[in-house]
Structure formats: C-alpha cells, structure tokens
Amino acid sequence: MRPLKTLLILLPACLVLSGCLTTKSKEEQPISLARQRVYLEKTTTPQELGFSIHRAEKNGIAYSGAARLHPHHLATADMLKKVPVIKLRGRSKRNTLKALLDFGSASSWLEFSTSREFKARFMGIDGRVIPYRGTSNTGGQNAYAGVVTQLRIDTLFIENIPFYIRMANHSLGPLARGIQKPKVDAVLGYDNLRVFEYIQIDLRNHTVSFSSDLPYIPHDNLLMTTARIINLPGHGLAIEGAIYGSPVPIILDFAGDYHFERGDKKVNNTRQVSLGDIVFRNVPTLVLEPNKSPPRAGRKMLESYIITICAPKGVVYFERPPG
C-alpha cells in the first residue's frame, strides 16, 4: 500500500512538471551547430531543382529563381484570425502549414521542424551550402536556402518553392512579424509571390485570391488608381508613391499592423501620403530605422481597398469595395 500511496502523492507533481516541460518545449529551440552540420551534409544542387547559381562573396554561391505554378489555376483562401496568414497543404492532406503572406519581405522563410515535416531539401554544391546574406532580422539564427517540392492553395499547385530555412524549432522569431495567433510556420515573401499572374487582397472580407496565369481585368466603375511597381532589389513589393508631393517608392506591407512607417523624419503623423493617385492625409506614422528601408504602407492604411497585385505586368490596382 505504501508504494501505491507514494505514487498517488507524486503523480500530481509529475503532471505539473510534465506540463512545464511541455510548455517549455514549445518555445524557440535553436539547432546546435553540431546538428546543423549534420543536416547540411546532404544537399541538392540548385540546377536539379530548376534554379541557377552564381558566385557570391568569399567564394560562396547564391541561387536565382522562384517557384513554378501549374497553368490555368485559380484559388481563394481565407485569412486566419483576420491577418494575412493562410493555410497551405503539401502532397499529403495530413501536411499543412500556416504561411504569412509578407509582400514587404524580399525572401521566403520556413521554420525548421516544418521543413522536416515537408521534407525540404537544402541547396548546395561541392560541399557548399547557401546561407542567407540579406538584411532581414533572423533573430540571430542561421538560415540556409532550401526547397519544398510542392505546396497547394486549395487546388492551385506550387512546385519547387524556395525558402530560407531558419535553424530553430517552433518559431520564426522576428520574421513572424509579431503575429502569435495563428502560429506562423512559414513566410511567403515577394520572391515567390511575384510569380503569380495576380494576387488580390481583400482585407475587409479577409480573403486572398490567386491566379497562376489567367489575367486580371479591373472593374472600371470600382477602380480608384493604378500604381506602377518599382523594382527595388533586396526589398519587397514597392509601388510609385509620394510624401507631400515628393515622389518616393513605397512598400506595401500587408503583414504590418500599423498605418505608415518612414525613416527620413520622426513625426507622429505624415501630412500627406500618395499611393498612385490615392491621397491619404494626416496618416499615423511610426519611425523606421534610418535608411533601412523605403517608407512602408501598413495594413491599417490599405484596408479600405481591394488591392490586386499583378507583378508580371508591373502594376497594382486599387479598387473600392462594391457597394
């Protein structure tokens, strides 16, 4: 009886400890350098996956290319928790992930345990892997180029999607943009989003529509402006804009929970901001780190419009909602 009584006394404490351990295991867990070396030993050459390579700094290599789409496919996805996070699945229906659509990010990102679940392959050649060399804040964690062979948005197929795999479990750190619910497993950045013929963001109805190659025709009676996309290497989606009449590229940042950010001047409100021909006045403004990025229009500034990004055509349409 005494061993049983002792067990019953200890059992609640064990459960409490188990709960603590379970909670702790969900926090970010960096992959040790020793384990990283093991995972990075097996690589696939970029050419096998349809990408090209070129020389990078210090005799390193870099890749060029983006995901490929199946032709004539359309899909619409609901945003989760009213933020631009959508659910994607892999080859198996059991494999799902939650991806943040971050047009303000030049690159796409994948959390490590998710990369294992989706059988992502690291890219490399002759023992050299491809580390992330950009300016995004990775939270101090290494990241290396890899590829997931297939993802689906409903019935729309995306093949050989490149990501930088962040070498930590259970978190994407700052790359998740402060979004905690839903948990962000991956980030689809502008490097992959730009391959779609169009992507339409409806922030009021919390939906995102995609087309692989079928063109978008705006509604004449709803169209407010057409803005030209400006190519800014190393940055996300930028369009022609202006601050108080002075032309400047402005990045569209649907993932950002704010109105406007700028790094050239510290102000609480910007008197006038233009996106194409649409003028916003007295816009609440946050301060960007100086010279880190062009000014950015966040979700709160963009939510009044249905916005359609046609990257291959180099234009963005702003339409007012019907009715």
At residue 32, φ and ψ (nearest 5 deg) are -60, 155
Burial of 281 (0-12, 13-18, 19+ CB in 10 A): exposed
State mean pLDDT over 8-22.
Answer: 38
Kindly state the DSSP code that residue 83 receives in the 8-state scheme.
Answer: B
Model pTM score: 0.90
State mean pLDDT over 128-156.
Answer: 95
Q: Read off the pLDDT of residues 182-216 as tens digits, 9 standing for 90 and up.
A: 999 999 999 999 999 999 999 999 999 999 999 99
Architecture of the domain delimited by 33-211: Beta Barrel (2.40)
Q: Read off the pLDDT of residues 86-127 as tens digits, 9 standing for 90 and up.
A: 999 998 888 999 999 999 999 999 999 999 999 999 999 988
State mean pLDDT over 72-84.
Answer: 96
Q: How far apart are CA 143 and CA 175, in angstroms?
A: 12
Burial of 232 (0-12, 13-18, 19+ CB in 10 A): middle
State mean pLDDT over 146-171.
Answer: 96
- Say if CB 273 and CB 252 are below 8 A apart: no
Q: What is the mean pLDDT of the chain?
A: 91
State mean pLDDT over 232-243.
Answer: 96
**Confidence at residue 323, expressed as pLDDT on a 0 to 100 scale:** 77
Beta strand 156-166 with 68-69: parallel, antiparallel or unpaired? Answer: antiparallel
Beta bridge mates, 275: 241, 278
Higher pLDDT pick, 69 / 21: 69
Q: In the chain, what are the domain boundaries?
A: 33-211, 223-319
Beta bridge mates, 98: 87
Same fold yes or no, 33-211 and 223-319: yes
- Say if CB 191 and CB 63 are below 8 A apart: no
Quick one: pLDDT band at residue 68, thresholds 50, 70, 90? very high
Does the structure show a pLDDT above 80 at 64? yes
Please spell the DSSP secondary structure of 292-312, one letter per residue: TS--EEEHHHHTTSEEEEETT
Kindly state the DSSP code that residue 44 receives in the 8-state scheme.
Answer: B
- Say if CB 253 and CB 303 are below 8 A apart: no
Measure the CA dihedral 199/201/202/208, to 10°: 60
Which of 17-21, 66-70, 176-180, 294-298 has the weakest average pLDDT?
Answer: 17-21
Does the structure show a pLDDT above 70 at 15? no
The enclosing H or E element of 63 equals: strand 61-64
Q: Read off the pLDDT of residues 259-312 as tens digits, 9 standing for 90 and up.
A: 999 999 999 999 999 999 999 999 999 999 765 689 999 999 999 999 999 999
Closest CA to 213 of 258, 168, 156, 175: 156
Burial of 7 (0-12, 13-18, 19+ CB in 10 A): exposed
CATH of domain 223-319: 2.40.70.10
Does the structure show a pLDDT above 50 at 28? yes
Q: How far apart are CA 41 and CA 38, in angstroms?
A: 5
Express the helix, strand and coil content of the chain in percent, nearest 5 each.
Answer: 15, 40, 40
Does the structure show a pLDDT above 50 at 136? yes
Q: How far apart are CA 275 and CA 294, in angstroms?
A: 14
- Given the structure tokens 């994407």, which residue do they identify? 172
Quick one: pLDDT band at residue 21, thresholds 50, 70, 90? very low
